[in-house]
Amino acid sequence: GAESRALAQIAETTVVAIRPPASDPTSAGGPPCLGLRTFSRQTLAGAFRTLLSAPTESAAIAKTIIAARYRTAAKLKNFVVFVKGLALADYAKRHRITTIHAHWLTTPSTVGFIAAQLAKISFSITAHNFDLYADNLIAQKVAGARVIRVISERGAADLREQIPAEFHDRVHVIHLGVEFPDGPAIPANAPRPLRVLAIGFLTKMKGHVDLVDAVARTVVELTDGFEVVGCRCAEDGRQD
């Protein structure tokens, strides 16, 4: 995505997919991607090397995941991905990775948390929406992270309610952005009238009211006059 490509411009970056597709997950023009499949030879070998080199530390993290108080369903998911965390720790050590950034406060950050603890490197998290309320080892992950990035003020407030006050200053709001093309987004010879499709949940925070207001004020100049821009909003396949 846009974020990984931007990071790749300033640092050597590897994207880690903990649930990789069947085909090569590396995107065109993006950084290389490591696919962690639970029962692959690569994952199991990496996990075994970590267990051999750090048996006490591995056992301590396993105990944290099992003994901490949080949802049983989340605990079972974390148990399943534990081997991936061990494998990622091995990869981080062998490739001299200096920091791990995990998207989502669910199992991806569990894998990142395990790997960062065992590789003894820095760790950060981006939390988005549903994962803020998933009750998945959140306190322990926040305690182990240098920075937790959220995408809205509401998300920041809701996360701070779940963690000790001493960690509140680790939570920062950085909104999601878009990648702008080098040239005009709309060719001069594009079919008219211009139609815009806005995709997202029809909630207040998405700003659909602002979009509709902007469309109402916008016209497209044609050779024979002006024509109003059309717009559709879609959520889960529905259009309104």
18-34: buried (b, 16+ CB within 10 Å) or exposed (e) per residue? bebeeeebbeeebbeeb
Reference 164, options 142, 146, 144; nearest CA is 142
Of all residues in the chain, what percent carry a pLDDT higher than 90? Answer: 55
Name the band, by pLDDT with cuts 50, 70 and 90, for residue 193.
Answer: low
- pLDDT of 142-192, one tens digit each? 999 999 999 989 999 999 999 999 999 999 999 876 666 777 766 777 776
Which residue from 146, 72, 141, 133 is spatially nearest to 108, judged by alpha carbons?
141
pLDDT of 62 reads 96
Residue 125 near residue 141 (C-beta atoms within 8 A):
yes
Task: Copy the structure tokens of residue 18.
Answer: 């903990």
Query: What residues contact residue 181 under an 8 Å CB cut-off, 6+ apart?
Result: none
Q: Could you tell me which residues come within 8 angstroms of residue 27 by beta carbon, excluding any fewer than 6 positions away?
A: 1, 4, 33
The amino acid occupying position 125 is: I
* Per-residue confidence (pLDDT) for residue 239, from 0 to 100: 41
Mapping DSSP to helix (H, G, I), strand (E, B) and coil, where does residue 203 land? coil
Q: Which pLDDT score, from 0 to 100, does residue 237 have?
A: 47
Q: Residue 226: pLDDT above 60?
A: no
